[in-house]
Amino acid sequence: SKLKEGLEKTRKGITDKIDDLFTRYGEIDDDLFEELEEILITADVGMQTTMKLIDMLKEELRIRKIKEVSAVKDVFKDVVEKLLVENGHTTFEVGNEPTIIMVIGVNGVGKTTSIGKIANLLKAQGKSVLIAAGDTFRAAAIDQLKVWGDRVGVSVIHQSEGSDPAAVIFDAVQSAKAKNADVLICDTAGRLHNKVNLMNELSKVFRVIDREYPEAKKEVLLVLDATTGQNAVQQAKVFNEAAEISGIVLTKLDGTAKGGVVLAISSELQIPVKLIGVGEGVDDLQQFNPHDFAEALMG
Ligand code: GDP
């Protein structure tokens, strides 16, 4: 499957090492857990989440009275899935009510690409979609968004570089209402180096949306780049202070050995990873599914 292929590098970092670990050990002991811990930390699961997973594994092995090393892997797979589900997993879905999707994240993480992919996905479900080019700071961002709009057949509401993002979003909301669009996807600026400005800008845009279209359902998706590993977790913590994030889009899972970061995000932030990017193409976006993820990861 595409997910399995996409996670190939992470798999090499986790599964192959875990397999090797379980062939080397004759019995379940502390050294085995310590080595497992190391493997997980190397795959960017993060210290805190790794400890939690190991504790859950030990508990599960005790409950199931498992003594054979050969059986540990399947239990661990279940534990990975359980951790993701426990922290509140929900899929990405747009209902029948008009919906506004705010897409936030740092420049370069794959925001533009993800917006294009999401627009395509929703169009395929028969929704009428509009995109708002709310990152007015970068001319390239507006252009790239227009390219994606053309590619997937969705209109992009935009103004010139440097214009007020709140004004663009205001326009786009009026347009969405006038056209009865099912979904409006809003791009936003992502200059995290000026945290206060970024937060102010985001809250201004949120206020416009709430004021102009209170009846619309709101979804706030944070885009994170899986290749940045623990940095992605840090970004999520910063954005979490600025906005009520309803889901995460984790991009570039295909090119990285750091797929374990999914577990860190889920466990440390309790924000569901809803969509994953597994390539640069328009179809390379998938619903995140804890069971499939655990299967793809652990083989
Ligand atoms: P933005 O600055 O956040 O809007 O980032 P872009 O959408 O322009 O993406 C930055 C780069 O990452 C581009 O070259 C994209 O093709 C690439 N990219 C985005 N998502 C993915 C993904 O899921 N997998 C891979 N391999 N590349 C991606």
Is the distance from the beta carbon of residue 59 to the nearest atom of ligand 1 less than 6 Å? no
Check pocket membership of 187 for ligand 1, CB cut-off 6 A. Answer: no
Judge if pTM exceeds 0.90. Answer: yes
Q: Tell me if 110 CB under 6 Å of ligand 1.
A: yes
| Annotated binding residue 107 | yes
State the average pLDDT over residues 199-205.
90
To the question of whether residue 109 is assigned a binding role by annotation, the answer is: yes
- The ipTM estimated for the assembled molecules is 0.99
* 1, pLDDT greater than 90: no
Question: Does residue 74 have a pLDDT over 90?
Answer: yes
Helix, strand, coil % in the chain, rounded to nearest 5: 55, 15, 30
> At residue 6, does pLDDT exceed 80?
no
Specify the range with the lowest mean pLDDT, choosing from 5-9, 26-30, 50-54, 111-115. Answer: 5-9
CA torsion through residues 110, 116, 119, 122, sign = negative
Tell me, in angstroms, the distance from the centre of ligand 1 to residue 171's CA.
Answer: 27
Mean pLDDT of all residues belonging to the chain: 92
Q: What is the pLDDT of residues 280-296, one digit of tens each?
A: 999 999 999 999 888 88
Give yes or no for residue 108 CB within 6 A of ligand 1. Answer: yes
The overall longest dimension of the chain from CA atoms, in Å, is 68
By the 10 Å C-beta count (0-12 exposed, 13-18 middle, 19+ buried), 235 is classed as buried
pLDDT tier at 142, thresholds 50, 70, 90: very high
